[in-house]
Amino acid sequence: MSQPDSSQYTWAGRFAEPMSDLVKRYTASVDFDRRLWRQDIRASLAHATMLARQEIIARQDLADIERGMALVVEEIEAGTFVWSLDLEDVHLNIEKRLTTLVGDAGKRLHTGRSRNDQVATDIRLYLRDAIDDILALLDQFQNRLLDLAEKEAATPLPGFTHLQVAQPVTFGHHLLAYFEMMRRDAERFADCRRRTNRLPLGAAALAGTSYPIDRSFVADLLGFEGVCENSLDAVSDRDFAIEFCAASALVMMHLSRLSEELVLWMNPRFGFIRIADRFCTGSSIMPQKKNPDVPELARGKTGRVYGHLMALLTLMKGQPLAYNKDNQEDKEPLFDSIDTVTDTLRIFADLIAGVSTRPENMRDALRQGFATATDLADYLTRKGLPFRDAHAAVGLAVRHAEEQGVDLAALSLADLQGFSPLVADDVFAVLTVDGSLAARNHVGGTAPEQVLAAIARARRA
């Protein structure tokens, strides 16, 4: 009876014919999951250590496995390791090479585990490492935001609602809004890490194993905070990957909002900032162009991360327990989300450090938008006029100033008193941009001293 080569396929004994080349290419994952090799080896060594400790394999087997894995690491790092599509994935490639190097000890490594719990463990280890990197990058980006915010703590900037000039804020205060977004993002990633940091190994294919394993020992070796309590859930759960992609979608959304503002602010019609040349490109036909390609690409890459979140949700929504081959499709969306968030945070930390402001243009914009109109309404209210009446009076004053082509502060005292007899000489102090900023002197307000206080609190945190 014809049989496939059982040395090539670990499961080949059951089959009467070899896998077709088309199916081999369709089902193989080694081209993208080979990036898990470090995590796969770490988990395998921990598993082997436990097997020897429990006397499931001999101490000499453990020594041989450790020696062989050290050689595998050297080959992969040197670029001499041969990755084979025939061996489907990173796990079988490493196991096959190990067996070639150390013989039967390599074959004993898989005792008491399945590729199902093996891959679930590797992904969690990989994602845990990635989250640690992202948290460090978020910290770096937040510090760069604080550096620029501190420098521009008193620089007036038009605050917008509906993209129309609303009230004066400071550029530093505006940047601190993004700091708060990133603070929440860091909390979400840290929270996701806690749920990711549970050990699936020991669940085997779906029902656990008959060997006397010690899962808690392996969890401790690998730095997991605990074990997955149910073997069915352990091998089929991908909530942690979905949660990571959700957190990634949020941080990219925040970076996309910042990107949109950077693009607008750089436009000559605004002219609020300059972005360093190293983050921009030119035009193939228009010599004068300086294009903000990095923020534009960040906006675009946000969409692909959103797509990965939807892909993983859709991947999991119809799966019965326990493991299904569908789950092989979790890796590419997850890996690309990790890469996209990591690269974007890294470049934005440098980009923000290279932003310079053009305060004169910001002040010009504030003069064009009647930004202190609310301050005039508050002034009248403090004089005893009900706010709704004050609102109506200031609306008439704004219409008059607009017809005259001047700002509210440029109207004469007599003009202003024509809209309310409560107006006195002290009105002009509240109509200045600096006066408006200084008046918002409370926690969370845009007064420069409050901005500096917020920065100090943020640095302590």
Single out the residue of 56, 425, 366 nearest to residue 210, CA to CA. Answer: 56
* DSSP per-residue codes, 305-335: HHHHHHHHHHHHTTPPSS--GGGGGGHHHHH
Catalytic residue among 20, 110, 114, 283: 283
Q: Are 69 and 44 contacting, i.e. CB atoms less than 8 angstroms apart? A: yes
308 catalytic residue (yes or no): no
Catalytic residue among 6, 44, 114, 162: 162
Q: For the chain, how far is it from start to end, CA to CA, in angstroms?
A: 70
> Residue 436 and residue 449: Cα distance in Å, rounded?
13
> Residue 258 and residue 18: Cα distance in Å, rounded?
54
HSE-CB at 132 with a 13 A cutoff on CA atoms is 8
91 catalytic residue (yes or no): no
Helix or strand (DSSP H, E) at 273: strand 273-275
Q: Are 50 and 91 contacting, i.e. CB atoms less than 8 angstroms apart? A: no
Single out the residue of 425, 417, 371, 369 nearest to residue 396, CA to CA. Answer: 417
CA angle (432 as vertex; 426, 435 as ends), nearest 5: 80
Residues marked as catalytic? 162, 283
